[in-house]
Amino acid sequence: MTKYNIKKVKGKKQIVWNPGRKRGLEEAKERIGDIEREVKLLLKNKKKIKVLEIGCGYGKVLLELKGLFGDRVELHGTNLEKRWDLKLIRRFALAHKMFRKKDVNKNLPKLHILDSGKKMRLKSSSFDLIYAQASVQYIYDKAKFLEEINRLLTKNGKAIIELQEKKIDSDVNIVSTAYPVEYNTLFEIWNEGKKVDVLKYLKKFKNVRIKTAKKGWSVLHMTKGKRFSLGLELINSFNLNKLYKGWWGTKAVYRVK
């Protein structure tokens, strides 16, 4: 995924920011719900909270939250690739006039470059709110990721995770016909030779609820669970884009232990 493109307008070069990585609070409402509202609810019980976005891209949501709540929120984000760094987030913030140049550095989130499908180098029980939009579909080990989210949540914390477990045609909210049927799901579980319904499997855990987003796919709401383990063994995981450049996402296949 490109960081941005350059085009000429009246002879001058202009940055064209990647639309998939510049989603803000308004776009998040369509995908995972009202993040601003979630922050307000948490701040009713705490003077300051810690927030983590998985796959923050340009960090637009985090920057907007900082503008709304100031020092009452400590903001963190993750990106997988080193090129999606804090300098890029700073450049985006200035280009969109989100903060004045003299104030921008102190308002940037703390960025962690890491693989969210492995154990994250972050302290356990340290985040009050964790969310992810349009990110989980690229994570190689989705089960490990969900277990890590539980580890990172505070006792009264909450996670809101867009699963996008199926390829959805967003215009009509049906399974996409642009992919072969075997690649229309990105999170696949098998048990004794039989395919398991992923959402039903996740729902059996007491700290997990599943909602449906306006876009048609599922959003996982999680609270802190004791000794939380999905009981799944990763059999294989692969990038669909490696099969065909017109496809996106990472399919992960599991076996129930």
Closest C-alpha among 113, 122, 130, 53 to residue 79: 113
Q: pLDDT value at position 248? A: 87
| Complete edge-to-edge strand list for the sheet that includes strand 127-132 | 110-113, 73-79, 49-54, 127-132, 153-162, 218-223, 208-212
Q: Using DSSP, how many helices (H) and how many strands (E) does the chain show?
A: 7, 15
Q: Which of 1, 26, 3, 10 is nearest to 95 (CA)?
A: 3
Residue 213 is predicted with a pLDDT of: 84
Task: Give the start-to-end residue ranges of the domains of the chain.
Answer: 16-166+197-228
Q: Which residue matches tokens 């985006």?
A: 92
Q: For residues 67 and 73, is the Cβ–Cβ distance under 8 A?
A: no
Where does 16-166+197-228 sit in CATH, by number?
Answer: 3.40.50.150
- Return the residue matching tokens 């637009």: 60
Nearest Cα to 211, choosing from 86, 80, 29? 29
Phi/psi-derived region of residue 72, left when phi > 0, alpha when psi is between -120 and 50, beta in every other case: alpha
Q: pTM for the whole thing?
A: 0.92
Q: Which residues contact 70 (CB under 8 A, 6 or more apart)?
A: none
Weakly modelled stretches of the chain, pLDDT under 50: 171-174
**What confidence score (pLDDT) does residue 172 get?**
43
3-state helix, strand, coil in the chain (%, to 5): 30, 35, 40
pLDDT at 19: 85
